[in-house]
Amino acid sequence: MVVNAQEWLYENYSMKNKKNFTKLDISRQNLEGKLDLRDFENLEELNCSNNPLLKSLDVSRLRKLEKLNIVDTNINVCGKHLVNVPLKELNGRSFSENYRKLWLEKTLEEGVLTANRKLTSRLQLELSNLLKKQAEVASATNKSIIKIQEKELEEIKRALRGSLGNEMIQNLCQIKDELTKLKIQDGQSTEEFSDIGQIDFRNFIS
């Protein structure tokens, strides 16, 4: 019998004690729909596997989550909800920096596409400038230059804030910042991969 994922969670786990859980195994429960686990903020391990009708998982506040298993679900791991999660293991495999870079590339692409739908052509150009400027700030070493670039970055953010809102802008900048720093560590160019649209992160973790 298929059951609503969120309702099942409320029925089987005390919401009063949700912050006490460090491990959660909800595999093979015939769960469907969306599941919000943001309030289980001390989770370190989560197993949602073998719930093929489970479509969405929000763990965006789980800053301690290191192991996640979503084998045989319909969850897309490229979504924004996993960006801040410090995963070390996904579906039983090591979640290396290489995987994270691919994941961040895909997430950034999705975020830009979403943002551009809300923007005029002029503001789309401003968004492109924002991400380039964020990469410059992330890669700069001279404090005086960084201060100038950060001021320019804030000016671009102000131009975009009315259309995108502060949260979306901050999320895009945060992703770009981490991605740039990871590439610098590997000696790569900080420019986006030209074939980013072809990346399906699930191919790397199945």
Interval 92-129: pLDDT, tens: 776 666 667 777 887 888 889 999 999 999 999 999 99
- Mean pLDDT to the nearest integer, 175-193: 75
| 139 or 193: which leads in pLDDT | 139
| Count of the separate structural domains present in the chain | 2
17: tokens are 């004690």
Residue type (1 letter), 26: I
Spell out the alpha helix ranges (H) of 58-204: 97-116, 121-139, 143-164, 166-185
Residues 62 and 103 in one domain: no
Counting Cβ atoms within 10 Å, is residue 58 exposed (0-12), middle (13-18) or buried (19+)? middle
> Quick check: is 124 in a domain?
yes
Residues 109 and 78 in one domain: no
104: tokens are 């961040």
> Quick check: is 206 in a domain?
no
Read off the pLDDT band of 66 (50, 70, 90): confident
Residues 116 and 185 in one domain: yes
Residue 198: per-residue pLDDT: 34
Using alpha carbons, select from 20, 38, 115, 35 the residue that is nearest to residue 70: 35
CB 197 within 8 A of CB 109: yes
Read off the pLDDT band of 188 (50, 70, 90): low
Per the structure, the complete domain to which residue 28 belongs is given by 3-95
Instruction: Tell me 41's DSSP state.
Output: T
- Mean pLDDT to the nearest integer, 56-85: 77
Give this prediction's pTM.
0.56
Using alpha carbons, select from 105, 76, 103, 111 the residue that is nearest to residue 87: 103
Residues 108 and 180 in one domain: yes
> Quick check: is 175 in a domain?
yes
| 131 or 107: which leads in pLDDT | 131
Question: CA–CA separation, 135 vs 205, rounded Å?
Answer: 27
Q: Where does a domain end: 55, 79, 95?
A: 95
> Quick check: is 82 in a domain?
yes
- Mean pLDDT to the nearest integer, 147-168: 95
Residue type (1 letter), 46: L
pLDDT in tens, 25-52: 999 999 999 999 989 999 999 999 999 9
Residues 84 and 110 in one domain: no
Counting Cβ atoms within 10 Å, is residue 97 exposed (0-12), middle (13-18) or buried (19+)? exposed
User: Could you tell me the end-to-end alpha-carbon distance of the chain, in angstroms, rounded to an integer?
Assistant: 27
Q: Where does a domain end: 95, 119, 135?
A: 95
Question: CA–CA separation, 56 vs 60, rounded Å?
Answer: 12
